[in-house]
Amino acid sequence: MVTGFSHVFLLVSRLGRTVHFYRELLGRPPASEDARHARFELGPISLTVHEDLTPAEASAWKVDPIPERRGWGVYLTFPTDDLEEAYNTMKELGAEILTPPMATPWGTRMFTAKDPDGYLLELCQRESKGES
């Protein structure tokens, strides 16, 4: 029986660039880091960015060695307490902004963007009572 969700693991083309991006976005250093990966702790869930697998690793792990469109169909959602600050940080980092901050029917404000490898990100903030 599944008891929870604990980890997101992203394969990336340029580890240093991606570690810098997430360090700035998340406002914290990795909890662990070496030449091939960095792991960020986000409460009960961690995010690991790992350099692309070697052909031997891809074969051993039965992973398609040629990523076509990284993250297609998957959004990583990050809650924030200041959506405008998060939006400005993403612009400063050179992220491709897909949608500007907007209200949603489910009571949040959010925007979407891509990380350096094209993974889809949603940053969101709960609207306060009385906001429209």
Domain membership flag for residue 53: yes
Domain membership flag for residue 132: no
CATH number of the domain within which 48 lies:
3.10.180.10
Report how far residue 78's alpha carbon sits from residue 92's, in angstroms, rounded to the nearest whole number.
Answer: 18
Domain containing residue 28: 7-126
Domain membership flag for residue 2: no
Tens of pLDDT, residues 29-47: 999 999 999 999 999 999 9
Query: What is the number of domains present in the chain?
Result: 1
Q: What is the mean pLDDT of the chain?
A: 90
Burial of 122 (0-12, 13-18, 19+ CB in 10 A): middle
Domain membership flag for residue 67: yes
Residue 53: what pLDDT?
86
Mean pLDDT, residues 72-95: 92
Residue 128: what pLDDT?
73
Produce one character per residue of 73-111: b if its CB has 16 or more CB atoms within 10 Å, e if not: eeeeebebeebeebbebbeebebeeeeebeeeeeebbbb
The bridge status of strand 75-79 relative to strand 32-33 is unpaired
What confidence category does residue 65 fall into, taking pLDDT thresholds of 50, 70 and 90? low
pLDDT surpassing 60 at residue 82 = yes
User: Helix, strand, coil proportions of the chain in percent (round to 5)?
Assistant: 20, 35, 40
- For the whole model, what pTM was predicted? 0.85
Tens of pLDDT, residues 112-121: 999 999 999 9
Domain membership flag for residue 84: yes
Q: Which residues pair with 120 in a beta bridge?
A: 75, 114
Residue 67: what pLDDT?
67
